[in-house]
Structure 1
């Protein structure tokens, strides 16, 4: 059942992840650097967080849309898991800014949902393949 709606859900939820991550990165970039790091340079911490959020939150999910929706499902599972972890890392109380945590939380939840949907779709495709194999033998 989920395989039927997976291509549409992939496009919609991936766009939500990318937009929320981009807004979150923008809010994090425009905020003043966090001062809670006595050893690390605060500007570098902020730059690293923004870079991580852009790469794992925007680039990686959009790259998953390049292939056909029902192909390379294991790769998509890994990509959306990485996007979810990247967004979840930005929920640290040391670097979070107002309103950014909302967009980051939405992106992390959507990444987790898309990871689960990709796993279910992959398992359904494996089950169909096994059923076809059993029917031919």
Structure 2
């Protein structure tokens, strides 16, 4: 059942993840560096967070759309899990800026939803292959 809706959900929710991640990275990139850090350089921390958010939250999920929706499902699950954790990093009290929490939280929830959907679609495809193999023997 999920494999029927998975390609459409993949496109729509991936676009939501990419847009929310881009908005979050833009808000963080335009904000001043975080204050109160003693050991870490605030500018380097902000730059690293922006680069990770762009790479894990925008580039990687959009790159997943290039492949066939029902191929490499475990790889897609791993990419969306990394995207979710990369966006969750942006919710740190040291990094968060005003208005950034909402798009970041939406990106995290959508990424984790696609991770679960990819795993379920993979399990369903394996079950279908096993059923075909049993029917042939």
Q: TM-score, normalised by structure 2?
A: 0.98
Counterparts of 2:36 and 2:24 in 1: how far apart (Å)?
Answer: 20
2:53 corresponds to 1:68: no
Counterparts of 1:44 and 1:134 in 2: how far apart (Å)?
Answer: 57
- Matching residue of 1:42: 42
- Matching residue of 2:126: 126
Q: Which runs of 5+ in 1 are unaligned?
A: none
Moved over 6 A (4+): none
Alignment of 1:32-111 (within 5 A): 32-111=32-111
SS at match of 1:97: coil
Counterparts of 1:70 and 1:25 in 2: how far apart (Å)?
Answer: 29
Q: Which runs of 5+ in 2 are unaligned?
A: none
- Matching residue of 2:24: 24
1:85-108 CA-to-partner distances (Å, cap 9, x unmatched) read: 100111101110011111100000
The alpha-carbon deviation at position 51 of structure 1 amounts to: 0.5
1:42-64 CA-to-partner distances (Å, cap 9, x unmatched) read: 11111001001001100110111
Aligned-residue RMSD, C-alpha? 0.6
The alpha-carbon deviation at position 36 of structure 1 amounts to: 2.2
